[in-house]
Structure 1
Amino acid sequence: MAADAAPDAAVPQVVDHIAVARLYGEPLFQLPQDLYIPPDALEVFLEAFEGPLDLLLYLIRKQNFNILDIPLASVTRQYLAYVDQIRKTNLELASEYLLMAAMLIEIKSRMLLPPKKVAEGEEPEDPRAELVRRLLEYEQIKLAAARLDALPVLGRDFLRAQVVIEQSLTPRFPDVNADELRAAWQDILKRAKLNQHHTITREQLSVREHMSIVLRRLQGRRFALFEDLFELNRGPQVLVVTFIAMLELAREHLLEVTQAEAFAPIYVRLAYQPA
């Protein structure tokens, strides 16, 4: 019995060496006859491209070609080889790449034709110029996207720290000393001085009233000096009205204004004498 048990114990090692696979831990000696493997399950993509320009830029940079002087024959052959591979599995995706392949063939055919005549001193137009411009712009955008993707992103590269701080329910007011109160009060006084209001009132002055005042002052007087008839303490408005009143009285021949000579004193008297 011991001799029979020894070969049985070595069976798993022998089976492990000749088994083609293991299914749930058990050795599988041959593949099932009805095993179906879909074609897509065995596809291997060595490089993933985001579009026709991405593939074309990859072929140029991988072989260190000068992007300003692209060897179209070599690049087009490699491009078509890749298009043939994806056309077998995904015709819809291959249509975008076929359009770029047609553009490459067109540019190559234009380069084989004689260049168009241009004015003297001007260089003939390069059929590759537009394609080079698009490639350079695409490369700049791709590099910028890579730099943006390399920046730290919240949730991917770092997490926002959250700290819970217990706060007292009673609000704490800041301490204020006497010097701060005095400075605040002085600031209020300065601002108050900048906002001052002036109330202007208009004094109602009557020329007729001052005509009567002048006549009353001259009553019973033979002469009066011209300047004695003005009230200097009443302000310039009253002086002007008094002067106008005297002119009106003189115009109505109720006053007589006399002067003996130039620069002599001016006298005023009533033009009539009461009975």
Structure 2
Amino acid sequence: MTPDPGTAASDTDPAELALARLYGEPLFALPQDLYIPPEALAVYLDAFEGPLDLLLYLIRRQNFNILDIPMAEVTRQYLAYVDQLREHHLELAAEYLLMAAMLIEIKSRMLLPPRQVAADQEAADPRAELVRRLLEYERIKLGALKIDQLPLVGRDLLAAAVHIEQALEPRLPDVSPIDLRNAWADVLQRAKLTQRHHIGREALSVREHMTLVLRALQGRRFVEFHELFDATRGVPVLVVTFIAMLELARERLLEITQAEAFAPIYVRLTYTPS
């Protein structure tokens, strides 16, 4: 049995045929008095950074060859945009109007016969300067876009702020020159009590005693200052040993420390032997 077309049409919900809904009510036809505020156009035009940006947009949107711009079509489209901008926001159209005048001038020069040039030279293209500016602007714009895509602190990532606890081992204070002088005087005093009088010449090497001091400190965390001196070998050896110690301290191979004022002076290596 074939259904009645009138019956089938009457069963369709009229709301399903609506083009849109406005405040919940179906609309079956587009309104004739639809109002678009001028600010809506301004928002669109403000998206361009300037006349070069708008001109480059028109060229790239239609896949025109930027080295062979069809001036008539591009100028017509550009002027259409500028007319809309000038109608609502005249204060924003000044620089766009300047570019429009430049486009019209280029178009006019292309209609004129080319200037006479030498046989071995090519006539200058009126669009050459505009093409140069467009290519330079596009290169800068793409570079700025790549820079903007880089991670930015505060926008794409946050700088980590980690509190690091100080080392539990207290840092020993530096030894003052006066304390070091007093310790050296004490070593000399002890040497005088045990020295032996003999006549002879002994070749002493600071580098050799530097090696001996480093060897004495290896494997030991701290060594008391006076333990590095052999008082039985006489004052010359003590002097060379002291100079060797000062040279090692200057080269930051050993560290001279003291826990507090008037406390014993200790010496230790500043590196861990391999």
TM-score by length of 1: 0.50
Partner of 1:118: 117
Distance in structure 1 (CA, Å) of the matches to 2:123 and 2:39: 51
Partner of 1:142: 141
* C-alpha spacing 1:72/1:144, structure 2 compared with 1 (3 Å): same
Partner of 2:164: 165
Counterpart amino acid of residue 107 in structure 1: I
Distance in structure 1 (CA, Å) of the matches to 2:66 and 2:111: 19
Q: Does 1:93 align with 2:95?
A: no
* C-alpha spacing 1:144/1:63, structure 2 compared with 1 (3 Å): same
Q: Does 1:188 align with 2:247?
A: yes
Give the gaps of 5 or more residues in structure 2.
1-20, 26-34, 173-213, 229-240, 251-274
Distance in structure 2 (CA, Å) of the matches to 1:143 and 1:40: 31
Counterpart amino acid of residue 91 in structure 1: L
Partner of 1:69: 68
Distance in structure 1 (CA, Å) of the matches to 2:39 and 2:51: 25
The CA deviation at 1:85 is 0.9
The CA deviation at 1:171 is 2.5
Is contact 2:59-2:66 (8 Å) kept?
A: yes
Is contact 2:71-2:103 (8 Å) kept?
A: yes
Q: Secondary structure at the match of 2:117?
A: coil
Identical-pair percentage: 63
Among candidates 151, 169, 178, match of residue 217 of structure 2: 178
Is contact 2:42-2:85 (8 Å) kept?
A: no
The CA deviation at 1:96 is 1.3
Is contact 2:110-2:126 (8 Å) kept?
A: yes
* C-alpha spacing 1:55/1:129, structure 2 compared with 1 (3 Å): same
* C-alpha spacing 1:162/1:84, structure 2 compared with 1 (3 Å): same
The CA deviation at 1:65 is 0.7
Higher relative contact order (CA 8 A, sep 6+): 2
Q: Does 1:103 align with 2:102?
A: yes
Distance in structure 1 (CA, Å) of the matches to 2:128 and 2:59: 15
Distance in structure 1 (CA, Å) of the matches to 2:92 and 2:244: 79
CA RMSD of aligned residues (A): 3.6
Counterpart amino acid of residue 57 in structure 1: L
The CA deviation at 1:38 is 9.8
The CA deviation at 1:185 is 3.0
* C-alpha spacing 1:109/1:40, structure 2 compared with 1 (3 Å): closer
Deviations 1:178-228 (A, max 9, x none): 149999938939x9xxxxxxxxxxxxxxxxxxxxxxxxxxxxxxxxxxxxx
Distance in structure 2 (CA, Å) of the matches to 1:137 and 1:41: 31
The CA deviation at 1:42 is 5.2
Distance in structure 2 (CA, Å) of the matches to 1:42 and 1:167: 60
Distance in structure 2 (CA, Å) of the matches to 1:70 and 1:138: 16
* C-alpha spacing 1:77/1:118, structure 2 compared with 1 (3 Å): same
Is contact 2:82-2:93 (8 Å) kept?
A: yes
Aligned residues: 160
Distance in structure 1 (CA, Å) of the matches to 2:127 and 2:39: 40
Q: Secondary structure at the match of 1:83?
A: helix
TM-score by length of 2: 0.50
The CA deviation at 1:159 is 0.4
The CA deviation at 1:95 is 1.8
Counterpart amino acid of residue 153 in structure 1: L
* C-alpha spacing 1:44/1:86, structure 2 compared with 1 (3 Å): closer
Partner of 1:56: 55
Q: Secondary structure at the match of 2:84?
A: helix
The CA deviation at 1:21 is 4.3
Q: Secondary structure at the match of 1:88?
A: helix
* C-alpha spacing 1:44/1:105, structure 2 compared with 1 (3 Å): closer
Deviations 1:106-131 (A, max 9, x none): 00100110000111111000000010
Give the gaps of 5 or more residues in structure 1.
1-18, 28-36, 192-275
